Structure 1
């Protein structure tokens, strides 16, 4: 059964504002000479992962803003509906006042009633009725005019809110797609270089990337930060003879792969079923293997710390798709593997 565990992507620092992300150029060829840090295509993939992480954060923030804007627009629509009902009620009030005026005058206009008054009392009563009726009519007309003006203004606000919402959503989606497209192209080139190295049986050597800050309080970590678990230890499959010897982490090509603990790199090799691989020796007589890589970032004999990048994931060797094959062994050679999930759990690193 596949299990899922997601963590935020590693983002050493927020790179820049949204416009800068969209405009920043990237190397088209992945030539190491194009990158001041010397990482070439590998460094470009890492940067694009960072850009994609920032773009995703901004996309999600924009999506939340859009939801707020959508709610505001919906409130405007509700207000418009209420104001339309109020305007209809005001027009009905005007009609009712006119009808009442007609009935109270016995068919005669109020002006005629005043002119035909026979006593001062009738005259005053007619003037009072006239004044009250005129005031009611004027108030109703003024209120109706204000409601119509408010209705028109709120209609314009609602239209503007929906337009801003659509424009913002389009800009964010376009930015995210642009970065994702660049990342996918860079992944393909990186894997192409890895396949060429495996076919030649000669590793290209370590690429030097800007390492993220390490957490010195953690002695052990998972080999990748964000992943889906695929084939587990001991599972059956047509691609291995006696059961799967490690734990597979399904991750995109170019994902930074970390040493799970401090140790020394005892093997960096290319070719064979594992493709490009790194093996690290740890205190206590244990070894960890990181296989099917697209690139390595360490040299044989080098000492590494927990969390330090030792390579980038890929699909080199006997692999049907991008993933990291991770093993724990009691010797540096294949055939002495332990259950890596259980081994990591014993060291305070839950996986799954």
Structure 2
């Protein structure tokens, strides 16, 4: 409790009491500092709202960021703060929309790039396949051309071989024909080691008529030959002629060989010039071993063999 003596001191001017002056100064400082602190916090809240942040720790008794008591803002400041918050939220929404659009555009570009890459890979694969197909087609065409060329060469070689074989066959045929013609035209004497003992149309007591041929006398068993190529039309015993063989030649002339000891041919046999038809003998009407040779043109009456042989290049 203050004493009586203290009352006059309370009514003294402040300049006269240092302690009182200090207390007044302290209260004034606290009020001024609180007011400034409230203004700074309000300005900070407004700036924070404009920057998209929230106010922090204004007072332990604050009920919320929008309460004037918690921020110490005037109604106009609160409206400005709310408007700033709304603008900031709208701006954020627009920014998010722009980000979403940017992301969508980036995704679309990435998808287009991926699709383009796939298309390029597919085009490259198709181009490679087309190139491979073209190379295969060229190789197949080259193989076909080579096969065709080889087949043509083989065909040509075969044709040449056939032509050569045909030519050789024709040559052989011509040679055979020439040989046959030569054989037909070739003529030999009816025997060898002979001497003539009777001529054509010669008279004598041994024949019923004049002699009809040439007698080629030779030792017994000497071969008797066909004078030209021909076919045997007779091989038989013919009375006074003894064993007799007749040969028909290509021009129709028939040659006869008589008095032979034996036959070496049969009817129907083909003989060449010089082929043996028998051997010198003494069968039939004869006085010694010889072959009686006759020439019968067309198989008719006999003619003189000597001129006929000379016409064919022989001189008996």
Asked if these proteins are the same fold (TM beyond 0.5), I'd say no
Richer in helix (by share): 2
Query: TM-score category by the smaller chain?
Result: 0.3 to 0.5
Q: TM-score with structure 1 length normalisation?
A: 0.37
